[in-house]
Amino acid sequence: MPASRRTFLAAGLALPVAASVDQTPPPQPPKLSARPPSFSYRTLGKTGLKVTTLGFGCMITSDGSVVERAADLGITYFDTARGYQGGNNERMVGAALKKRRKDLVLSTKTEANDKPGAIGQLDTSLKELGTDYVDIWYLHGKTAPAAVTDDLMEALAVAKKSGKARFVGVSTHGGQQELLPWLAKNPNIDVILTSYNFTMQPFMNSVIEDAASAGKGIVAMKVMAGGVRRAGGANRERLSRDGALVAALKWVLRNSNVHTTIPSMTDMDQLDANLRGMSQPFGESDEKLLAMHLEHIAPEYCRMCGQCDGDCRQGLPVADVLRFLTYADGYGQFALGRERYLGLHPSHASARCGDCPGCTIQCPYGVRVAERMARAQEMFA
Amino acid sequence: MKWLLALLAAGAALAAPPSCDLVSGWTQHGAARSYAADNLFEYMDGNAEGYLLYGFVNMHGVSCDKSGVTVLIDLSEFADAESAFGMYSANRDLRQPETRLGMGGQIVPRRAIFAKGKYYVEIAVNQEGDHTAALTAWSKALEARTEGTSDPPAALEWFPREGRESLRLVPESVLGIRAIPRGYVGEYAAGKAFVAAQDSPAAAQAVMQKLRARFPNSTPAKVADDAFTATDDYLGRLCIFRKGRVIGGYAKAADSQDPAALAAAVAARLP
């Protein structure tokens, strides 16, 4: 029986807390007057870089004033990428951090698929960021070891040797079960940037722990599980209002194998809320908030984990059908949902769950599969 | 009957997927692709968040080959024309000139983008080199088959042209202030102008109240219906005004400039 999201959430409470949390400021602390009371710092694996556990994902930030204030307040890790906002993001970040560049850890990424392309992008990044070097340079969005080619590894080595990147790494949004152990064993990778949040599967804890034990710096992104932007309508308002997003951040920070996090922030209020989150422990009320959030999304939200593959008596591609239903129910895209549904094999598109005596699928995350499948058939078939 | 009407309405709103035969000599490479808001992450990872910010609805894409060159064409539908323009405005290369395409467009050696109606179109070439000719042909063909207005949002005319370096729609927290949830920002050598239309004058008054609380050192100013000036560590010398249901202003005013005068110039252009 696979562990459920709820089990994972509960397991999070048992994570080794504060074992490697160092409350001592780094050697060159920013000079501030309005620093939050308890900034926490961790060391980014064998890089030795000391970073605040709350970093700043600059990807969707529009106004440099938020980035600049974050640096003034004492956040030390800032992340961008060549491709963000059509290349405009790096320019904004570079300008905002100009005054404090030497005190900060700055990372960017390349989505190029070959060495010349990657090196070319790094040169452009340095120009746009207005700096001679980045502290960490990532290969962007890899989901399997095969995507981290020898050619790209050579690009990372060249960047390090030239001093244009102090450390190098790989970012990943998927495939972590295979990719993280592979990266952990790779001596030429210094840092791993991975999605990590309370909705993910339990194996994430162990692959992150193994990678951290191997000396890799671990940076977590998507810590708010897609945040308010992925949630629709009333759910979006509720998430922002009740503090679930900060609770999600605190949940990630409990894991001492995660050295820093890079939530997206677009305004001063988000920045202040996250700073408070960094300085507060994950408590019972946070656990309740996240559990409520899981409860709220569980009956309808298919996480595409694949655990029901092959379980349907009629051979239906359950996860696909549930996704098509989400197009209609979740996003108001009835036509798209129906189009995809009718693209199924005719025997699947015409199947009826009512023909079975009972459903064989028990979703480990609590999705009411039979009910949702029947709704899809009623709407689309 | 209701069901049928819903189907027809939704069908009418769905963009026709791009096709490789729109430009002669190109053939389809691989399967066509479609994404909605819940699975756009599968296609572009974290970059998807930038689309969701602007009210992304769905995307249809296809890749086409010709003589060893592959173009990736993606047509994204947004909630409305303003949002599609916003997506374009945030992603155009500010250092490069614009091209006359739809509401706004740009063609650079390996990439073309434009917005027309509620659609945002991206065309990218995989291979190195200057592919301007192919991108121009594709842009023209796609512009012709994309429905919707080619008139830029009226708000663009509210910003003085002189000295303007960029103008974009910010979908969330204008100037990094949550009280101003969405609006246009123009960057100038002398600072930043912004305009954010609210639902009603009463809603705009409520925003002004929040902004006064955000800048406790403010001083009343004589611009439009209501205004104040203030100084902020990160937004510099600024002036914010309300004119009817619109909040506008000027921030980071250069030392030699009067933020109230700069804001008044913006207010004067508002209807």
Q: Per residue in A76-107, pLDDT tens?
A: 999 999 988 888 999 999 999 999 999 999 99
List all residues 6 or more positions away from B225 whose beta carbon is below 8 Å from its beta carbon: B201, B241, B242, B243, B244
End-to-end alpha carbon distance in chain B: 43
Low-confidence winner among A132-146, A228-242, B221-235 (lowest mean pLDDT): A228-242
Residue A227 pLDDT exceeds 50: yes
pLDDT at B56 (0 to 100): 92
Comparing CA positions, the residue from B35, B18, B17, B12 lying closest to residue A331 is: B35
Q: Tokens standing for A50?
A: 């000391």
> Looking at CA atoms only, how far is residue B192 from chain A in angstroms?
10
Residue B5 pLDDT exceeds 60: no
Low-confidence winner among A178-182, A284-288, A299-303, B155-159 (lowest mean pLDDT): A299-303
CB contact under 8 A, B49 and A59: yes
Report in angstroms the alpha-carbon separations of A168 from A46, A108, A173, B192.
12, 10, 17, 36
Q: How much is the average pLDDT of A7-25?
A: 38
To which H or E segment does residue B232 belong? strand B226-232
CATH superfamily of B154-269: TM1622-like (3.40.1000.20)
State the span(s) of chain B assigned CATH 3.40.1000.20.
154-269
User: How far apart are the C-alpha atoms of B242 and B205, rounded to whole Å?
Assistant: 7
**How much is the pTM?**
0.81
In this prediction, residue A10 has a pLDDT band, given cuts at 50, 70 and 90, of very low
| A45 vs A295, more confident | A45
CB contact under 8 A, A141 and B14: no
Pairing verdict, β B69-78 and B56-66: antiparallel
Question: Collapsing DSSP states into helix, strand and coil, what is residue B176?
Answer: helix
Question: Collapsing DSSP states into helix, strand and coil, what is residue B85?
Answer: helix
Chain A residues inside the 8 Å CB shell of B14 = 333, 335-336, 339
Q: Tokens standing for A335?
A: 């036509």
List all residues 6 or more positions away from A320 whose beta carbon is below 8 Å from its beta carbon: A340, A344
pLDDT at A77 (0 to 100): 98
Q: Tokens standing for A150?
A: 């020898």
User: How far apart are the C-alpha atoms of A316 and A291, rounded to whole Å?
Assistant: 30
Mapping DSSP onto H, E and C, the string for chain A reads CCCCHHHHHHHHHCCCCCCCCECCCCCCCCCCCCCCCCCCEEECHHHCCEEECECEECCCCCCHHHHHHHHHHCCCEEECCCCHHHHHHHHHHHHHHHHHHHHCEEEEEECCCCHHHHHHHHHHHHHHHCCCCEEEEEECCCCCHHHCCHHHHHHHHHHHHHCCEEEEEEEECCCHHHHHHHHHHCCCCCEEEEECCCCCCCHHHHHHHHHHHCCCEEEEECCCCCHHHHCCHHHHHHHHHHCHHHHHHHHHHCCCCCCEECCECCCHHHHHHHHHHHHCCCCHHHHHHHHHHHHHHCCCCCCCCCCCCCCCCCCCCHHHHHHHHHHHHHHCCHHHHHHHHHCCCHHHHCCCHHHCCCCCCCCCCCCCHHHHHHHHHHHHC
Point out the residue among B41, B168, B177 whose CB comes nearest to the CB of A267.
Answer: B177
pLDDT at A245 (0 to 100): 84
Instruction: Kindly list the structural domains of chain A, giving each domain's residue range(s) and its CATH number in brackets, ordered by start.
Output: 5-294 (3.20.20.100), 318-380 (no CATH)
Give the nearest chain B residue to A302 (CA atoms).
B38
Q: How much is the average pLDDT of B63-73?
A: 95
User: Residues A228, B178: contact at Cβ < 8 Å?
Assistant: no
Pairing verdict, β A77-79 and A56-57: parallel
Is A84 annotated as catalytic? Answer: yes
pLDDT at A37 (0 to 100): 54
Complex confidence, ipTM: 0.84
> Looking at CA atoms only, how far is residue A322 from chain B in angstroms?
12
Give the single-character DSSP code of B1.
Answer: -
Residue A25 pLDDT exceeds 60: no
Report in angstroms the alpha-carbon separations of A123 from A129, A238, B41.
10, 43, 27
Sheet of A260-261, strands arranged across: A56-57, A77-79, A105-110, A134-139, A165-172, A191-195, A217-221, A260-261
Residue B271 pLDDT exceeds 80: yes
Strand partners, A194: A172, A220
pLDDT at A363 (0 to 100): 86
Please report, as a single letter, which amino acid is at residue A167.
F
CB contact under 8 A, A62 and B172: yes
pLDDT at B223 (0 to 100): 97
Chain B residues inside the 8 Å CB shell of A222 = 46
| A264 vs B140, more confident | B140
Pairing verdict, β A56-57 and A105-110: unpaired
List all residues 6 or more positions away from B45 whose beta carbon is below 8 Å from its beta carbon: A140, A141, A173
In this prediction, residue A297 has a pLDDT band, given cuts at 50, 70 and 90, of low
In this prediction, residue A327 has a pLDDT band, given cuts at 50, 70 and 90, of low
Point out the residue among A83, A269, A333 whose CB comes nearest to the CB of B57.
Answer: A333
pLDDT in tens, B19-55: 999 999 999 999 899 888 877 877 887 778 889 889 8
pLDDT at A241 (0 to 100): 60
- Decide if B50 touches A, using CB distance below 8 A: yes
Chain A residues inside the 8 Å CB shell of B174 = 62-63
Angle value at C-alpha B42, between B40 and B44, nearest 5 degrees: 70
CB contact under 8 A, B91 and A86: yes
pLDDT at A31 (0 to 100): 37
User: Residues A54, A278: contact at Cβ < 8 Å?
Assistant: yes
Task: Quote the distance between the C-alpha of residue B39 and its chain's center.
Answer: 22
Q: Tokens standing for A333?
A: 């895209």
In this prediction, residue B79 has a pLDDT band, given cuts at 50, 70 and 90, of very high
| B191 vs A319, more confident | B191
pLDDT at A331 (0 to 100): 52
| A29 vs A194, more confident | A194
| A380 vs B23, more confident | B23
| B102 vs A343, more confident | B102
| A199 vs A350, more confident | A350
> Looking at CA atoms only, how far is residue B160 from chain A in angstroms?
20
User: How far apart are the C-alpha atoms of B68 and A278, rounded to whole Å?
Assistant: 51
Chain B residues inside the 8 Å CB shell of A59 = 46-47, 49-50
pLDDT at B62 (0 to 100): 95
Task: Quote the distance between the C-alpha of residue A3 and its chain's center.
Answer: 21
- Decide if B233 touches A, using CB distance below 8 A: yes
Chain A residues inside the 8 Å CB shell of B87 = none
CB contact under 8 A, A141 and B45: yes
Low-confidence winner among A198-202, A275-279, B163-167 (lowest mean pLDDT): A198-202
To which H or E segment does residue B136 belong? helix B132-145
Q: 């408590």: which residue's tokens?
A: A283
- Decide if B270 touches A, using CB distance below 8 A: no
- Decide if B109 touches A, using CB distance below 8 A: no
pLDDT in tens, A249-260: 999 999 999 999
- Decide if B94 touches A, using CB distance below 8 A: yes
User: How far apart are the C-alpha atoms of A133 and A122, rounded to whole Å?
Assistant: 9
pLDDT at A242 (0 to 100): 67
Interface test with B, best of A33, A245, A336, A380 (most B CBs within 10 A): A336
Low-confidence winner among A30-34, A137-141, A199-203, A307-311 (lowest mean pLDDT): A30-34
pLDDT in tens, B84-139: 999 999 999 888 899 999 999 999 999 999 999 999 999 999 888 899 999 999 99
User: Residues A282, A248: contact at Cβ < 8 Å?
Assistant: no
Q: How much is the average pLDDT of B206-225?
A: 96
> Looking at CA atoms only, how far is residue A171 from chain B in angstroms?
10
In this prediction, residue A7 has a pLDDT band, given cuts at 50, 70 and 90, of very low
Q: Tokens standing for B233?
A: 């560590």
Q: Tokens standing for A362?
A: 């028990």
pLDDT at A3 (0 to 100): 36
User: How far apart are the C-alpha atoms of A154 and A132, rounded to whole Å?
Assistant: 20
Report in angstroms the alpha-carbon separations of A173 from A141, A197, A226, A244.
6, 11, 12, 22
Catalytic residue chosen out of the listed positions A84, A138, A196, A327: A84
> Looking at CA atoms only, how far is residue B53 from chain A in angstroms?
7
pLDDT averaged over every residue in chain A: 83
Residues above pLDDT 90, as percent of chain A: 50
> Looking at CA atoms only, how far is residue B88 from chain A in angstroms?
9
In this prediction, residue A12 has a pLDDT band, given cuts at 50, 70 and 90, of very low
Low-confidence winner among A42-46, A252-256, A325-329, B99-103 (lowest mean pLDDT): A325-329
pLDDT at B121 (0 to 100): 97
A·B CB contacts under 8 A: 126
Angle value at C-alpha B59, between B58 and B65, nearest 5 degrees: 170
CB contact under 8 A, A88 and B10: no
User: Residues A219, A13: contact at Cβ < 8 Å?
Assistant: no
pLDDT at B126 (0 to 100): 84
